[in-house]
Structure 1
Amino acid sequence: MAYKEAAFDDAEYKIWKKNTPFLYDLVMTHALEWPSLSTQWLPNVTRPEGKDFTSVQLPDDDAQFDASHYDSEKGEFGGFGSVSGKIEIEIKINHEGEVNRARYMPQNPCIIAAKTPSSDVLVFNYTKHPFKPDPSGECNPDLCLHGHQKEGYGLSWNPNLSGHLLSASDDHTICLWDISAVPKEGKVVDVKTVFTGHTAVGEDVSWHLLRESLFGSVADDQKLLIWVAHSNNTSKPSHSVDAHTAEVNCLSFNTYSEFILATGSADKTVALWDLRNLILKLHSFESRKDEIFQVQWSLHNEIILASSGTDQEQSPEDAEDGPPELLFIHGGHIAKISDFSWNPNEPWVICSVSEDNIMQNIYNDEDPEGSVDPEGQGS
């Protein structure tokens, strides 16, 4: 049975490869030495004068890149739209085990928080580390955040309050730290606040993008919880919602609307919510074939969001229209997609990583039929 599924995936992938030049303006596929669980575009961008390319910084999860040009006839990896397209490592930093999740601080992108296989969250200022790591493999973070009892994946910096970091964990808790208040000589940071509203593994947490004290969390208890960070009651959220019929794996607040958010679940759906009325979901996207592990709103268009999961596909959706709301399916991965990230500088550019060691950058600036233009107006 597994052999037949693998053969089917391979056949689908070959079809996708042959059609890649017609589907994208650019697609770059890179084989990593090890699988990556996390990826995120850094906002720093360099546009060399007189050149037709852009240099963008990417976090590297201690992985080596081995990219070659992709040709649809030869079946080789590489890129369309950029013959010499490649990704180069700018800096490598030793880390304590796998990097479950890595996210930069919006107010200072040089500062990156990383979730470890242990209970700690590590913080690195990559400008203070050498380009090549210590050959001994010793991990030397700038800060070590204590508070959890188990590992986890959820991680979110406050976009409005510098240094405020949230983390979700398998120990059912949400931890909040303020690294801006840390003494310069200290490396260990104790948790500021622990939120205990969930009754199962905490899967994800996210700050509201427009309200500095509001955040949401989701967990295996099938609930979406909305919290006020400065509340005196850290065991009772301001809102508790039975969001899905299975584990809730991810959530994302809309980039432009202060009321809209989305959640993704093991029940194979993405749910759309309005903070003004959480009794009923606004809409349920049911285009996925399997469990959903990541959902993110576009940074450039308020009605576009993308999701990914174990069905190996990424699906940007149009949240303005009813069914059929599916805009596009990216079928370039043949294993579970661990994480993906919208490019903050270029609309319709996404970077994704999967469990088969593959990193992909995809770009398509031509709107699908019935889609929306870059200004967010329906076509």
Structure 2
Amino acid sequence: MASDESELNIKEEYQLWRKNCKYMYEYVSETALTWPSLTVQWLPTCTVDEVVNAKLLLGTHTSGNDQEYLKLAATKLPIAEETAAQTEDVPKTKVSSIIKIAKKYEVDSEINRARYMPQDADVVAALLNSGKVDLFNLSSGSKYSTFDTGMESSYCLSWNPQQQGHLLSSGAENKLSIRDINKESAVLGETSSHGDIVNDVSWHAFDANVFASATEDDKMMLFDARTPTQAVSSYHSVGSSGLNTLAFSPFSHNLVALGGSNSNINLVDLRTNKLLHTMMGHGDAITCMDFSPHLDGVLASGSQDRRVFIWDLSRIGEEQAQEDAEDGSPEIFMMHAGHTGAINDLSWCPFADWTLATVADDNIVHLWQVSKSLTEGELKVGEDVVLE
């Protein structure tokens, strides 16, 4: 009976979300996949004619019931008003942002993460559930290399934004490897200094030698790639029930966000390894997280509670009226509540402000852009985030 009631509540929440879409989004599209995807990422380039032609990376998660694929998806987005104003000869066209699969690449097991290399978006690494990493070249349409991390069911994959070809991935449970995909002796360094399973890794946004890991024993560990055998520092996120994901700010050298199984997000100052602030609002474990590449202090997070939150860090500490406080903390800017399953991954669009792609266990891909009525209201986004 409880399960039936839960399903009914989810359906009612979804219908309420559909009713309010016109107030929250410039556009939102839903595409049903045959199988859920555990990964999503916009490719960084697009073409513009009457519409914006964009592409995304997706995977499949069939649990062995069908052939697994890395998928290259195509979609059409409406031209932004400011772009249309600069191209008066291009008529503004109404478009459907439903995605279509343009290309499929066979893989041996489900894809946990797929990410393009920042310096060459034709090069894509796909981390398989088997522990293997397949490397694809999208321009030639083929897989050209593979290596084994030695660890199954890992989600740890990160390209170095400063050093071309340097890929960080997980090895045996508490082990990480740095590889140069352009060299025959690929392993540049390894570390086994973790005390528990590594759930996520990321290179620093500015420093080519710095990377961090998030672990099941509530630790964020910071490493120098030149001497990776031991962490240079660590932060213990007490009470997180396991750190699932981390994100470095692309604007502040010293800001990192940590997402825990306890549903909270901790903001940490790397200079002191001290907690700056804890953001609360999700109702279940944080599964994915990323800062906006366009606006300082804007963070998106996904959770097993089926929600994606957008946070505005410049609002932290603001006073609230009683009726506003009942809706959540002041830094919660928006809640995307259109998915009916746990959020698996999210991606900010690199060429369109306030635009995201999200995938969930409900087999649905959402492409959505936040309404200008929200972003151009009283929003303080863009103000510097001060670390005190």
Q: So what's the TM-score if we normalise by structure 1?
A: 0.85
Structure 2: which amino acid aligns with 1:124?
A: F
Task: State how far apart, in whole Å, the 1-side matches of 2:58 and 2:346 are.
Answer: 14
Matched with 2:32 is: 31
State the Cα deviation string for residues 41-65 of structure 1 (Å, max 9, x = none): 00011011xx1x2011111323698
Secondary structure of 2:123 counterpart: strand
Matched with 1:122 is: 134
Matched with 2:200 is: 204
Secondary structure of 2:23 counterpart: helix
State the Cα deviation string for residues 94-123 of structure 1 (Å, max 9, x = none): 112111100000000000001112122111
State the Cα deviation string for residues 104-157 of structure 1 (Å, max 9, x = none): 000000000011121221111122226xxxxxxxxxx31112342434001100
The equivalent position to 1:269 in structure 2, one of 264, 267, 270, is 264
1:4-19 alignment to 2 at 5 Å?
Answer: 4-19=5-20
Matched with 1:173 is: 175
Secondary structure of 2:107 counterpart: coil
The equivalent position to 2:333 in structure 1, one of 316, 327, 331, is 327
Q: Is the 8 A contact 2:213 2:222 kept in 1?
A: yes
Structure 1: which amino acid aligns with 2:52?
A: T
Structure 2: which amino acid aligns with 1:259?
A: N
Q: How many angstroms does 1:173 deviate by?
A: 1.3
Q: How many angstroms does 1:376 deviate by?
A: 4.3
Structure 1: which amino acid aligns with 2:138?
A: Y
Task: State how far apart, in whole Å, the 1-side matches of 2:135 and 2:294 are.
Answer: 28
Matched with 1:47 is: 48
Matched with 2:86 is: none
Matched with 2:88 is: none
Matched with 2:64 is: none
Matched with 2:363 is: 357
Secondary structure of 1:84 counterpart: coil
State the Cα deviation string for residues 315-349 of structure 1 (Å, max 9, x = none): 00011222411000000101001000000000100
Task: State how far apart, in whole Å, the 1-side matches of 2:148 and 2:58 are.
Answer: 24
Secondary structure of 2:139 counterpart: helix
Secondary structure of 1:109 counterpart: strand
1:56 aligns with 2:54: yes
Task: State how far apart, in whole Å, the 2-side matches of 1:282 and 1:168 are.
Answer: 28
Task: State how far apart, in whole Å, the 2-side matches of 1:250 and 1:82 are.
Answer: 37
| Closer, same or farther: CA 159–28 of 1 in aligned 2, 3 Å | same
What CA RMSD, in Å, does the superposition of the two structures yield over aligned residues? Answer: 2.1
Q: Is the 8 A contact 2:244 2:261 kept in 1?
A: yes
Task: State how far apart, in whole Å, the 1-side matches of 2:97 and 2:221 are.
Answer: 43
Secondary structure of 2:19 counterpart: helix
Between 221-230 and 362-371, the greater mean CA deviation after superposition: 362-371
State the Cα deviation string for residues 26-49 of structure 1 (Å, max 9, x = none): 00000001100000000011011x
1:248 aligns with 2:243: yes
Task: State how far apart, in whole Å, the 2-side matches of 1:84 and 1:96 are.
Answer: 33
Q: How many angstroms does 1:161 deviate by?
A: 0.2
Q: Is the 8 A contact 2:180 2:186 kept in 1?
A: no
- Structure with bigger strand share is 2
Q: So what's the TM-score if we normalise by structure 2?
A: 0.84
Matched with 2:189 is: 193
Percent identity (aligned): 30
The equivalent position to 2:298 in structure 1, one of 300, 304, 310, is 304
Secondary structure of 1:287 counterpart: coil
| Closer, same or farther: CA 377–259 of 1 in aligned 2, 3 Å | closer
| Closer, same or farther: CA 284–127 of 1 in aligned 2, 3 Å | same
Task: State how far apart, in whole Å, the 2-side matches of 1:16 and 1:349 are.
Answer: 18
Number of matched pairs: 342
The equivalent position to 2:379 in structure 1, one of 353, 360, 371, is 371
**Unaligned 5+ runs, structure 1:** 68-80, 131-140, 183-188
